[in-house]
Amino acid sequence: MCGNDLVFIGGADRSPKALDDVWVLRFEGRHPLTARWIRQTTTSRNGETFPAGRSGHSATTIGSEIYVFGGMDPVSGTCFNDVVVLSTQNWEWRRLALAETGSPPPRNAHVACAFRNDTCIVVHGGSSPDQGPMGDIHVLNVLEGREKWERPRVTGQAPDPREMHAGVCMDDELIICGGRGRDGVTLSDIVVLDLTEMRWVRKGLFPNGALCAHGAATWQTRSGQNACAIFGGVDGQTLRPNELTVFDCETLAKVALNEKALNPNPSVTLDDDKALNPNPKAPASRFAHACVSLRLAFAEDGGNGKTCQHAFVVFAGVTPAFDLRDVWVWVEDFGTREETPRVATPTVATPSTVPASDLD
């Protein structure tokens, strides 16, 4: 996410085919909530194609740059541990020059978040065909001239190794939820890593049971408390219900939401949209999708003043029968004006595949 732009990089479909394209979903600051798709052309400093087509990678925004780490070629099963950086100012790729010693093992389906005032990226877990689910912590320093990987000493009761989990960073804490552990067990725990002390400090249980291949984003409660919002995923056997669950980052307790604020965005659809989602008032259940939260500022009628709303965006994903490419926006009604979100008819084709790895 850069400003009011959401940037989606690569992914794969169920064929499987890995992608290396870049799409921008641009929100416009007006009512009704409107966005449009842009197929973004990119260049590279050395004429090289960056990054190689992949899925299950992470894309972490720091300032105007997006750091892509890891991922897998779903055809060959090759996992990556390179770091490539995309500037959203000139849309140029560059490869981050890093010493090979100290780099994390190749992986996909991991968690990566920015912290320390956007000077570092923390990576947790993930998996590869060689190692299976992992539970390690690595830190990438991204300060110019100091770029390097570090393997910090972590104390406390470490959680089980896992892949396909979700996580967010809030106040220099990494909060991870669920995932799939060794022997294919789907996990239901929430664990918190203090990134200042590098210590696992507390844990709890996700209020709705085990889940993996779900999406998470930061949120804020009505009282101003930091929270984590979770949508979608599977419980190991079946798709989870299409409900948004929010828990407090400090207490790990479930937070009540105003369900009336669930607004559909049906305008980016496939021809068989009714088969994809028989309930047009909420996004279809899904897994391996993308989720992000952002603050959207809207011009008031007449252009005087602005209204800001905290929004949770769901894009694409997979079901047992379909690859999805729809966009949904959720806003909570705090007594301010709400509008049904929509995506403007694009001048170019919309993304055709899911930006995440499929389950085995």
Q: Both ends of the chain: CA-CA distance in Å?
A: 29
Cβ atoms within 10 Å, residue 167: 23
**Class of the 42-152 domain?**
mainly beta
Task: Tell me the average confidence (pLDDT) per consecutive run of 10 residues in the chain, 360 residues long.
Answer: 87 90 87 84 82 93 96 94 95 87 93 96 97 97 93 96 97 96 96 98 94 96 90 95 93 79 37 44 90 80 66 92 90 48 45 40
* Predicted confidence (pLDDT) per residue in 172-213, tens digit: 999 999 999 999 999 999 999 999 999 999 999 999 999 999
E-assigned strand segments in 209-322: 215-220, 226-231, 244-248, 254-255, 262-263, 290-299, 306-318
Nearest-CA neighbor of 201 among 191, 209, 211?
A: 191
Residue 359 is predicted with a pLDDT of: 35
* Predicted confidence (pLDDT) per residue in 87-146, tens digit: 999 999 999 988 767 899 999 999 999 999 999 999 999 999 999 999 999 999 999 989
User: Rg of the Cα trace of the chain?
Assistant: 19
Question: Measured between alpha carbons, how far is 97 from 83 in angstroms, rounded to an integer?
Answer: 8
Question: Measured between alpha carbons, how far is 331 from 313 in angstroms, rounded to an integer?
Answer: 9
Give the residue extent of every domain in the chain: 42-152
Question: Measured between alpha carbons, how far is 129 from 49 in angstroms, rounded to an integer?
Answer: 25
Q: Are 108 and 134 in contact (CB under 8 A)?
A: no
Q: Are 254 and 262 in contact (CB under 8 A)?
A: no
CA angle 211, 260, 29 (to 5 degrees): 95
3-state secondary structure of 281: coil
Cβ atoms within 10 Å, residue 271: 7
- Burial class from Cβ neighbours inside 10 Å (0-12, 13-18, 19+) for residue 309 reads buried
3-state secondary structure of 214: coil
Nearest-CA neighbor of 262 among 246, 250, 239?
A: 246
